């Protein structure tokens, strides 16, 4: 089956806005579905070792370019953004 449409549509993890993206190019954010936070980050914003279970149930959610730019400007996300 030819891959004629390189773009997908999804909702931004940060702002929930619907946007189109190229799955190969988009910035994603690894989120533990049980907590809504990245594995290894607690609700208090402190870092803890990510358990294999947390990583296993985590999914990569797309983040729109606007939020990526905002996060980079804020400069406080540290190594969370990739």
Residue numbers of the site for Zn ion (CB under 5 A)?
Answer: 12, 14-15, 64, 67
Q: Are 49 and 15 in contact (CB under 8 A)?
A: no
Which helix H or strand E contains 27, and what residues bound it?
Answer: strand 27-32
Nearest one of 79, 58, 77 to 14, comparing CA atoms:
77
Considering beta carbons, is residue 14 or 61 the nearer one to Zn ion?
A: 14
Considering beta carbons, is residue 26 or 54 the nearer one to Zn ion?
A: 26
Least gap, CB of 63 to Zn ion (angstroms)? 6
Considering beta carbons, is residue 31 or 54 the nearer one to Zn ion?
A: 31
């Amino acid at each position: 089956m030819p891959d004629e449409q390189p773009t997908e549509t999804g909702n931004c993890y940060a702002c929930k806005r619907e946007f189109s993206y190229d799955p190969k190019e988009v910035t994603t954010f690894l989120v533990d579905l049980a907590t809504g936070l990245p594995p290894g980050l607690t609700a208090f914003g402190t870092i803890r070792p990510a358990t294999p279970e947390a990583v296993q149930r985590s999914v990569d959610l797309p983040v729109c370019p606007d939020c990526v730019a905002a996060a980079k400007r804020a400069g406080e996300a540290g190594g969370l953004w990739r």
